[in-house]
Structure 1
Amino acid sequence: MGQFVAVGNCVLDTILSVPHFPGEDDKLRASNITRRRGGNAPNTVDVLQQLFASDDEADRTIGLNLIVVLPNRASPAVQEIQRSLGSGKAITKSIYREDYFEASSSYIIKNLATDSRTIISYNSLQDMNFEEFTQIAGSFGNEAVWYHFEGRIPDVTLNCIRYLRKSAPDVKISVEIEKFPREGLEELVPEADVIFYSKIWAVGNGYKDAEACLRAQAKLAPSALLLCCTWGMQGASVFEPATEAYYHRAAWVSKDSQVVDTIGAGDTFIAGMLYSYLAPNNNWPVSQKLEFANELAGRKVVQEGFAGLGGLVHRGLQQ
């Protein structure tokens, strides 16, 4: 069995839905509160678990793993994170800070009037360092077939990727280029096989649309398999350097539903693209990979959280 490894940050999210954004020193009653596990890499692994579980042929072909920094193994926070990922096996290779008992946390104010999301984060846990990563990566041996990096701490991430290129030259590597401004992210691009760009990063760097971003960035990674960019309600795009083919899909929209929860839509898109490479019958053309991931992300935003997405998309594609 091959192993997929996602490297990133795991958080506990508290989401408050409010009728409008509060002013300083205001008092405001929230209409809803949701608490759930978050973090880009854990969200992606969560959806991947569902996709593989819904595919009888793929279920036993690959193990899904998370390398994230967590507090004390016995802490309530870790127990909650384990429950959120089903069996909890995904985090067995993670890094534990035994002197801490609070996980990284985010408090998200969801403005129902504008659908904006204001995020306040708290994290007392020291980030993963290069030595910790190499120790864990070495434990996978030659079983690891794909590493996905969130694009946090770019200098450490760059060293981790270069280590893998030497120690496991056949492994595939994907990176997420999301936060702006965050220095050093662009240096990761030439090292990766698949790159995921966010609209926030693209706009922050002066690109007017997804196509402009992908065509320009492809010059930094001419040997990459694929470059992807999500653009909110305008959909998603991909560019294949080998063929110079560009594909775009408008956002998938359900006729019977409305937007409910956009938090994690990008993570869900990434899960869809990664699944299209990792599944046993992964000989889909690029346009089909994009179609699948785009629909998966579209189905996510019309529901709260991630539950049941894998089965919904597989059934949808069969219709």
Structure 2
Amino acid sequence: MHKMFKLHSKSNSSATSSTTSFSSSSGNSGLGSSPGPRVGLLLLGTTYLDTIMHVNHFPSEDTKQRAERVEQRRGGNAANSAEVLGQDPRAKVWYMSSMPSQVASRVLLRALEESKVNTDACVFHGSQHAPPQAYIIQAGTTGTRTIISHSTLPDITFAEFAKKFDMECLKINSDISKPACPYRWIHFEGRGLEVEKMIDHVEAVYVRQNWRQKLTISVEFEKGDRPGIASLLKKADVCFFSRLYAETLGFDRPEFFLSSVADFCKPTATLFCCWGSLGAVGLHLESGTRFSSSAGHVGAVVDTIGAGDAFIAGIILALGVRGYDIGRGLRFACELASQKCSQYGFRRLLQATPPDL
């Protein structure tokens, strides 16, 4: 069983429950406390080279339109979350991804390494592979973004993951006579059967070392049509659902969706569903507590790309590193996602977000 989260919620975040005194066994402190040991976090996902075309309005089919501005930057859900997490000095972040050659990957990994994210666990391929590409049309009048992606780069296989994971655990535990829990939170992008095997491997290692109660495993469920993704529902201690995932399954309200999907998840899991400008909802299954938070205040929306990734980083940081209760963590994550919408990229995002909410 994974470590438990605090359930107490402040009054400006709604919560209904039959139990409100359930507390966390985490020893992590919030802001203002004396710093303790850095908390190990591992995130695994696909790294993209994003080409973002900023246009005034979304083009009609079979028309020609000039972009107001074009930019390229590193993308990828888990990579974006890792960049944000690396900005907190209490977090020690590792990132694992399938990458092209080391030469072709330098630009993609630079921003992560500048945020003190360790990328040693990445799996590099030959020069015949180009980075995965994402072409994003960002419409200024509506704030919408339309994404077309393409990749010939193979995903990390289970064998590659197990080898890298075991190797990194050994590197972290240089004193093998007194092995310490290397990661307190491991986050996966939901990508089907290979990820299921990876989680099973992590479980086996952590149970064997008697570390499992110290670990939180989270999975992002972004696209409902990915083969095998439903099998991951019962594997995660924390599930992150996108609005797209819920709408693909026919839901138009996050609270209804979470109540419906709960039966397919671990009975001890905590679920989150982010709903864009309408905020987010959380559900702690063991106690039946539901949490909700509005989106943070944004003066002007300039860049919504990666807001959901910032939300995930906010929850991991709040619950896994700072020891916030779920209600406060949800408010913090919504504020962080909203702050992301008010700036380009992720640089110094954490410093721009109010810590005490």
Does TM, scored on the shorter chain, surpass 0.5? Answer: yes
Q: For 1:86, what is the secondary structure of its paired residue? A: helix
Confirm or deny that 1:73 pairs with 2:102.
yes
Aligned to 1:155: 193
* CA RMSD in angstroms, aligned pairs only: 1.8
Aligned to 2:77: 40
Segment of structure 1 superposing worse, 82-91 or 130-139: 82-91
Aligned to 1:168: 206
Contact 2:138 2:145 in 1 (8 A): yes
Aligned length: 302
Amino acid at match of 1:156: E
Contact 1:100 1:125 in 2 (8 A): no
Aligned to 1:300: 340
Which consecutive unaligned segments of at least 5 residues does structure 1 have? none
Amino acid at match of 1:302: S
User: What do residues 63-107 of structure 1 show as CA deviations (whole Å, max 9, x unaligned)?
Assistant: 2111111111122xx111232113475221101012335211111
Segment of structure 1 superposing worse, 164-173 or 82-91: 82-91
Using a 3 Å threshold, how does the CA distance of structure 1 residues 124 and 183 change in structure 2: closer, same or farther?
closer
Confirm or deny that 1:145 pairs with 2:184.
yes
Percent identical residues? 32
User: What do residues 223-249 of structure 1 show as CA deviations (whole Å, max 9, x unaligned)?
Assistant: 334100001111101001121111111
TM-score normalised per structure 1 = 0.89
Confirm or deny that 1:115 pairs with 2:143.
yes
Name which of 217, 220, 225 aligns with 1:181.
225
Aligned to 1:15: 52
Give the alignment of 1:1-319 within 5 angstroms: 2-50=39-87, 52-53=88-89, 58=90, 62-75=91-104, 78-87=105-114, 89-100=117-128, 102-141=130-169, 142-152=181-191, 154-169=192-207, 170=212, 171-254=215-298, 257-279=299-321, 281-282=322-323, 284-313=324-353, 316-318=354-356
Q: For 1:219, what is the secondary structure of its paired residue? A: helix
| CA distance in 1 between partners of 2:277 and 2:117 (Å) | 34
Using a 3 Å threshold, how does the CA distance of structure 1 residues 29 and 289 change in structure 2: closer, same or farther?
same
Give 1:306 deviation, angstroms.
1.1
User: What do residues 250-299 of structure 1 show as CA deviations (whole Å, max 9, x unaligned)?
Assistant: 11123xx11111110000000000001222x41x2211111111111111
| CA distance in 2 between partners of 1:131 and 1:222 (Å) | 26
Contact 2:143 2:301 in 1 (8 A): no
Q: For 1:119, what is the secondary structure of its paired residue? A: strand
| CA distance in 1 between partners of 2:216 and 2:128 (Å) | 34
User: Which of structures 1 and 2 has the larger relative contact order (alpha carbons within 8 angstroms, sep 6+)?
Assistant: 2
| CA distance in 2 between partners of 1:39 and 1:295 (Å) | 21
Using a 3 Å threshold, how does the CA distance of structure 1 residues 148 and 31 change in structure 2: closer, same or farther?
same
Q: For 2:224, what is the secondary structure of its paired residue? A: coil
Q: For 1:107, what is the secondary structure of its paired residue? A: strand
| CA distance in 1 between partners of 2:39 and 2:315 (Å) | 18
Contact 1:222 1:242 in 2 (8 A): no
TM-score normalised per structure 2 = 0.80
| CA distance in 2 between partners of 1:99 and 1:89 (Å) | 24
Which consecutive unaligned segments of at least 5 residues does structure 2 have? 1-37, 170-180
Amino acid at match of 2:292: H
